[in-house]
Each structure stands twice: as structure tokens, then as C-alpha cells.
């Protein structure tokens, strides 16, 4: 195998696979990247951790086609630090990978590509154009409440459902709070209705990273038990969680007795201040709601006490004291972008609801704390 490839495109192609290289895997080949010089004048760079797979192609001057796998992290470190613009890669019959770039020369020990796991292929499947920016926003606003508790695998990912009419809904919950977002993701063409699937935490991270890199023009679809995303010559496959997402609609309050409209950023800053004195373990804070103001309190016998009043207008409900994990509320306020948010409450031990004011697309349910 022998080829010449641009240093920058090689480096970019290797950068995006870093998240799936698994150096602790029982199969040593999983810490390697798969390189394939193709007769059509391209270099394929791929990697998989068996759950998430990147498969990309870049132009190259191929002198001798062939395949090899080589330590993906080291190759990336080398590629991005090379001095010149073009890199020559040659593999000898002993699977040694020789890289040359101007005056630098590296030899890496490779492993035969025959031992690399078979990768999914998107050939022949139908992908639909979607708005990557809309997908990215949905992910950003739901990803943070995915459960990390391994004993509940059906909560270890974001629930993803095509509602028809190009609408996509994403939901995540860790059992204490729930995030739900819904948006039109069309980019020409219509995304049809489809049963919901669960995209695992790791996979959703890689999807988000890819969307950050490639911008809004992406296509998506499903291949067997994988979500497929395509951007140009790059494919990302994410194996879905094989479990049923719980009926989350049960926990969304249908009606609320109390509604307060708050300025998002000042509310967020006040919680940040109050939480300095919250318990490091529970992050609990108290919200005392009256007709004229909302008072935030953290009362920590070990440390001291903090209190802040927020003036409110137009609240005519009854008084309520309720406690929340301050981190949960801050995370919600941080992912939103509107100027105002609505805080909707029932009783002290019933789920609370946060929405963006005049944006029906997102809702966040937070279970209170018993202080």
C-alpha cells in the first residue's frame, strides 16, 4: 500500500475518530484506525468501538492500493504535528507503516486489516436530508439529563422519535428529571413517522461532535439496529440501545396551579450564587414563592445560609415552598436561549415544569427534593 495525502485532511479524518478508539479493549485492534488506499484515488479512514463507527473518505494520490490498521491515537498525534503539507504513507509486507513528510520520518507497527471487525455499510440505504443545526439543538437541550446508572439501560440514552411531518422529538431522563424537545428538522423532503429508538449516551456525544464539525447539511437514516448519519463522504453509525423507553408521558404534569415568568439569565445567576452554600452532595435549594417575590434559600448547617429575592410580576397564585437540586435547574436554564422562562408548579412534592416562555418546543420536568 502506498499513497500521498494532504496532511490537514488526514489530520481531520483522524481527529474525529479519537472518541471511539478504545485502548483498554480486549481486542487490541480496537485501538487502531483502519486505513484503506483505494484504486479510485481515495483514502478511507475508519474506526469502531463496536457501538459507534466512523467511516470517512478523503482524496489521495494512491500509488498502490491496500489496507492496514495502525495505532489511531499515535497516528493522529504524528499527522497533526508533521511539518509539511503532504504526507506519504507506505506499508511494507511486514505491516510496518512508514510516514514521510518533508524531513520527518516515522515507522509505526501496524496490524493486518483482516483482523478488523466488519464495519456496517450504508451502501444502498435511503438517507433523508435533515437540518443538522436543529438536530444539534435538540441534542444539546436533552443530552444532559441522560442517566448514567448502568442498572437502567433503557435510560442510558436519548429517546429519538420521528413524529411525521419532519418533526423529531428527543427525550431523556435519569429518573429525577426529564428533558423533552420537539422540532421540525426538514431540509427539503419530509422525514416520515417512525417508532422511537434509544441512542446511547456515547453515540449521541459523537453525533453532536460530528454536527459541530460538519455544519447543518447532513442526511440521516436507519440501518438495522443503527442510526446512520452522513455528511459528505463521512458516515457515522451508532448502534441503538435494545430496550424500551419508559412511558415518559406519565410524568409530565398536565396542568399546573402556579405559573411564574422569570428572566432566564438573572434567575440563573441567582441560583449560581445561592448554590455556593448548598450541600455539596445534594445541591438542595429552597424556593419560597409568594405574590410579590420568589426567594431562593440555601441553608446548610455545616456552612451557613444564603438568600436572594427575585421580584416577580403578575403572579396571583397561592404561596408555596418547594426544594430543588440547584444543579438540575441550572443545567436547564443554561441550555435554553430565550430571554424568559416559565416556572410551573403544583405542590411541594409534585414534579415542577420549566419551559421557554412562548416556545412550546421544549419542556423540562424536575422532581423536587424533600428537605
> Can you give the binding site for other proteins, defined by CB under 8 A?
149, 151-152, 173, 175-178, 246-248, 250-251, 279, 282, 284, 323, 325, 349, 351, 365, 367-371
Q: Which of 286-290's residues contact partners 24+ apart within 8 Å by CB, and which partners? A: 286/321, 286/322, 286/323, 286/371, 287/320, 287/321, 287/322, 287/323, 287/324, 288/319, 288/320, 288/321, 289/258, 289/260, 289/315, 289/317, 289/319, 289/320, 289/321, 289/322, 289/345, 290/319
> How many whole angstroms separate alpha carbon 153 and alpha carbon 148?
9
Nearer to other proteins, 263 or 299 (CB): 299
Q: Cell 445534594, residue?
A: 282
Give min distance, CB of 53 to other proteins, in A: 29
Nearer to other proteins, 111 or 371 (CB): 371
Nearer to other proteins, 90 or 325 (CB): 325
Give min distance, CB of 152 to other proteins, in A: 8
Nearer to other proteins, 32 or 147 (CB): 147
Shortest CA distance to 239 belongs to which of 279, 267, 210, 198? 198
Nearer to other proteins, 88 or 282 (CB): 282
- Side-chain-side CA neighbours of 171 within 13 Å: the count stands at 23
- Left, alpha or beta for 165 (phi > 0: left; psi -120 to 50: alpha)? left
Give min distance, CB of 149 to other proteins, in A: 5
Nearer to other proteins, 251 or 277 (CB): 251
β-strand 340-345 against 258-263: which pairing, if any? antiparallel
Q: At what angle do helices 7-15 and 72-81 cross, to 10 degrees?
A: 140
Q: At what angle do helices 326-335 and 264-275 cross, to 10 degrees?
A: 150
Give min distance, CB of 269 to other proteins, in A: 23
Give min distance, CB of 175 to other proteins, in A: 6
Give min distance, CB of 19 to other proteins, in A: 26
Nearer to other proteins, 152 or 209 (CB): 152
Give min distance, CB of 10 to other proteins, in A: 43
Give min distance, CB of 176 to other proteins, in A: 5
Nearer to other proteins, 54 or 362 (CB): 362
Residues with Cβ within 8 Å of residue 38, at least 6 apart in sequence? 44, 57, 62, 65
β-strand 96-101 against 194-200: which pairing, if any? unpaired
Nearer to other proteins, 163 or 371 (CB): 371
Nearer to other proteins, 247 or 360 (CB): 247
Beta strands in 79-225 (DSSP E): 86-91, 96-101, 104-109, 128-131, 157-164, 167-173, 177-184, 194-200, 217-223
Three-point CA angle 105, 108, 109, nearest 5°: 150
Give min distance, CB of 367 to other proteins, in A: 5
Residues with Cβ within 8 Å of residue 172, at least 6 apart in sequence? 142, 143, 144, 145, 146, 147, 155, 157, 158, 159, 178, 179
Give min distance, CB of 283 to other proteins, in A: 9
Amino acid at each position: 500500500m502506498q499513497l500521498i495525502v494532504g496532511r490537514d485532511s488526514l489530520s481531520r479524518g483522524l481527529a474525529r475518530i479519537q472518541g471511539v478508539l478504545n485502548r483498554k479493549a480486549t481486542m487490541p485492534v480496537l485501538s487502531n484506525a483502519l486505513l484503506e488506499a483505494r484504486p479510485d484515488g481515495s483514502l478511507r479512514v475508519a474506526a469502531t468501538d463496536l457501538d459507534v463507527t466512523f467511516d470517512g473518505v478523503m482524496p489521495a494520490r494512491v500509488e498502490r492500493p491496500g489496507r492496514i490498521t495502525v495505532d489511531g491515537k499515535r497516528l493522529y498525534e504524528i499527522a497533526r504535528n508533521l511539518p509539511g503539507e503532504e504526507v506519504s504513507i507506505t506499508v511494507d509486507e511486514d505491516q510496518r507503516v512508514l510516514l514521510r513528510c518533508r524531513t520527518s520520518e516515522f515507522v509505526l507497527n501496524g496490524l493486518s486489516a483482516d483482523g478488523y471487525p466488519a464495519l456496517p455499510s450504508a451502501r444502498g440505504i435511503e438517507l433523508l436530508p435533515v437540518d443538522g443545526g436543529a438536530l444539534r439543538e435538540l441534542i444539546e437541550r436533552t443530552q444532559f439529563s441522560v442517566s448514567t446508572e448502568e442498572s437502567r439501560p433503557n435510560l442510558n440514552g436519548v429517546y429519538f422519535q420521528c413524529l411525521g411531518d419532519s418533526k423529531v422529538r428527543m427525550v431523556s431522563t435519569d429518573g429525577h428529571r426529564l428533558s423533552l424537545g420537539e422540532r421540525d428538522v426538514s431540509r427539503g423532503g419530509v422525514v416520515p413517522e417512525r417508532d422511537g429508538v434509544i441512542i446511547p449516551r456515547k453515540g449521541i456525544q459523537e453525533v453532536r461532535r460530528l454536527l459541530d464539525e460538519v455544519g447543518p447539511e447532513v442526511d440521516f437514516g436507519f440501518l438495522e439496529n443503527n442510526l446512520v448519519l452522513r455528511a459528505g463522504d463521512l458516515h457515522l453509525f451508532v448502534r441503538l440501545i435494545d430496550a424500551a423507553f419508559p412511558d415518559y408521558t406519565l410524568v409530565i404534569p398536565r396542568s399546573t396551579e402556579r405559573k411564574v415568568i422569570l428572566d432566564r439569565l438573572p434567575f440563573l445567576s441567582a441560583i449560581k450564587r445561592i448554590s455556593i452554600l448548598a450541600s455539596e452532595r445534594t445541591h438542595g435549594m429552597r424556593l419560597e414563592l409568594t405574590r410579590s417575590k420568589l426567594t431562593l434559600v440555601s441553608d446548610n448547617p455545616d456552612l451557613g445560609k444564603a438568600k436572594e429575592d427575585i421580584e416577580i410580576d403578575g403572579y396571583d397564585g397561592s404561596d408555596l415552598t418547594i426544594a430543588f437540586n440547584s444543579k438540575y435547574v441550572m443545567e436547564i436554564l443554561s441550555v435554553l436561549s430565550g430571554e424568559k422562562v416559565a416556572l410551573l408548579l403544583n405542590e411541594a412534592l409534585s414534579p415542577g415544569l420549566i419551559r421557554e416562555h412562548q416556545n412550546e418546543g421544549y419542556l423540562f420536568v424536575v422532581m423536587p427534593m424533600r428537605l
